[in-house]
Amino acid sequence: MFKSLLLFGSLMFSLAASANCELSISANDAMQFSSKSLEVDKSCNSVKLTLTHTGQLPINIMGHNWVLSASDDVQELAIAGMQSGVDNRYVPQNDPRVLAATEVVGGGASTTIEFSIEQLSADKSYTFFCSFPGHFAVMQGDFKLI
Ligand SMILES: [Cu+2]
């Protein structure tokens, strides 16, 4: 009895230790994300992501956000985002192609979102990018469920 409890306990511990449901990424004044690839455990119900702008430039000059979409949608979404304007934080509103999106932050600021990944599939290709005008071509990376 004690032995099986011990076994159960260590199993729970290893499950908790392996599930990676929290992500953090930073962006800087040189228009770069700190990571080109992010991975989360597919068993996560939701993912908590924190974006930190480690630069000093103001939000209207070098603002950054973090937007998630299917990889095939990035280019069209980035254009639609630009057209949505600053009031909509450069993200088209009520667009189902947007799987997650943070606020836009300027130098020294950070923002956190929590989003569901239950409708995402480990077999599909997802990309995160910054939709601030002119940034998506260099500010993007892979988002994987593992
Ligand atoms: Cu940016």
Domains of the chain and any CATH numbers: 21-145 (2.60.40.420)
Tokens 């392996």 correspond to what residue?
Answer: 18
CA of 138 to the centre of ligand 1 (A): 9
CA of 24 to the centre of ligand 1 (A): 15
pLDDT band for position 2 (cuts 50, 70, 90): low
CA of 127 to the centre of ligand 1 (A): 14
- The alpha-helical segments, DSSP class H, found in 19-57 are none
Q: Is 99 helix (H, G, I), strand (E, B) or coil?
A: coil
CA of 1 to the centre of ligand 1 (A): 56
Cβ–Cβ under 8 Å, residues 45 and 116: yes
Q: Where are the beta strands (DSSP E) in 43-146?
A: 46-53, 67-70, 100-101, 110-116, 126-129, 140-145
> For residue range 18-68, what is the model confidence (pLDDT) as tens digits?
578 999 999 999 999 999 999 999 999 999 999 999 999 999 999 999 999
CA of 30 to the centre of ligand 1 (A): 9
Model confidence, pTM: 0.87
